[in-house]
A and B are shown apart, each in its own frame.
Chain A
Amino acid sequence: MKAGVVTFPGSNCDADVFHVLKNIFNIDTKMIWYKDKNIKGYDLIVLPGGFSYGDYLRSGAIARFAKVMDPIIDFAEKGGLVLGICNGFQILLESNLLPGAMKVNDNLKFVCKNTVLTVINNKTPFTNQCEKSAAIEMPVAHGEGNYYIDKEGLKELNENNQIILKYKNKKVNPNGSINNIAGICNKERNVFGLMPHPERCSEPLITPGKSDGYNIFSSIISFINKRGGKIAK
């Protein structure tokens, strides 16, 4: 299995994701520069958190047009696994790989704290090692995580079980997202975007006793190993 982590100008969680994949899971992991067009041979591409292009215009709007994105969209359309964390989620929305859009947080604040989440769907490549309905903890750090989708879109997300993670309730929802949504996947289940940062809670050294991010990465790895390291289509 081979994983790639994309660095855009302004990404700042790329090294963290790299560390988790390479040093905790011993996965062959490479950094991918935002100008690279060749992304052949990967089983997983991660769009990390950060502030690509300074979040100018809208978060993720300009990164969507970086040279690396067309091959990534192609990779996703062929069934390759793409994980977008925080700013990566915003880029996936701007790329139309996932439906909906991000608005400024309800309370207009940059929110940086631990959140309690519920695993809504554990039958995906990204959550198969999580327990369904389990309450897990992961930190968030964002100013634009107020996920929005229109009524029809929301209905479709629900019908197709595309909502994977929710903030536990309205009270702990840090940004005002519709239906407390924290992470969604596409219909095909190979593209996953989430606002919380699993890479910041994947080892006991950093988050003793509560390393719930670990299961997100172990799910992906377990899925790819079972699939035999080949893209689905």
Chain B
Amino acid sequence: MDWEVKIETKLKDGILDPQGKAVKTGLKSLGYNNVESVHVGKYLELVLENIEQKNKAAKMVEEMCDKLLANPVIEDYSYHIKEMEG
């Protein structure tokens, strides 16, 4: 089975995010005064092929995030896995 994986990484809560802060200032200056906070992160899409079980795919994704895609010192990650259609 093939899997479509969507991964998001962002700075951990409590770590000052300079990009998020700048974007927040920009949104406020456009008049969006309801914006309380902004975090800028990264978004990655992967396709994994020939893995039979979803939990195996999940385990692989977590391994990839821990080793390379996220830096555990400053970043958290989350992901969604969906079976590829057709």
Contact = CB atoms under 8 A, between A and B. Distances in A.
B73 A101 contact: yes
A108 B68 contact: no
* Residue from the set A61, A65, A100, A146 with the largest chain B CB neighbour count within 10 Å: A61
A51 B17 CA distance: 22
Given A100-B73, A148-B73, A148-B74, A105 B68 contact: no
Given A57-B68, A61-B68, A103-B11, A108 B74 contact: no
A107 B16 CA distance: 12
A103 B22 contact: no
Interface residues on A, range: 20 to 34
Interface in A35-93: 57-58, 61-62, 65, 93
B74 A103 contact: yes
Contacts of A94: 71
A61 B69 CA distance: 8
A156 interface: no
Interface residues on B, range: 10 to 19
Given A100-B73, A101-B74, A148-B74, A176 B18 contact: yes
Given A101-B73, A101-B74, A106 B68 contact: no
Contacts of B78: none
* Residue from the set A62, A65, A108 with the largest chain B CB neighbour count within 10 Å: A108
Contacts of B16: 103
Contacts of A61: 68, 71
Contacts of B68: 57, 61-62, 65
Interface string B39-75: 0001000000000000000000000000011010110
Contacts of A99: 73
Given A101-B74, A103-B74, A148-B74, A108 B18 contact: yes
Contacts of A65: 68
B10 to A, nearest CB: 12
Contacts of A146: 18
Nearest to A107: B18
B37 to A, nearest CB: 17
A93 B72 CA distance: 12
A120 to B, nearest CB: 22
Nearest to B17: A103
Q: Nearest 4 pairs between A and B by C-beta?
A: A101-B73, A101-B74, A106-B18, A101-B71
Interface of B: 11, 15-19, 22, 42, 68-69, 71, 73-74
8 contacts: A57-B42, A57-B68, A100-B73, A101-B73, A103-B18, A104-B19, A108-B18, A148-B73
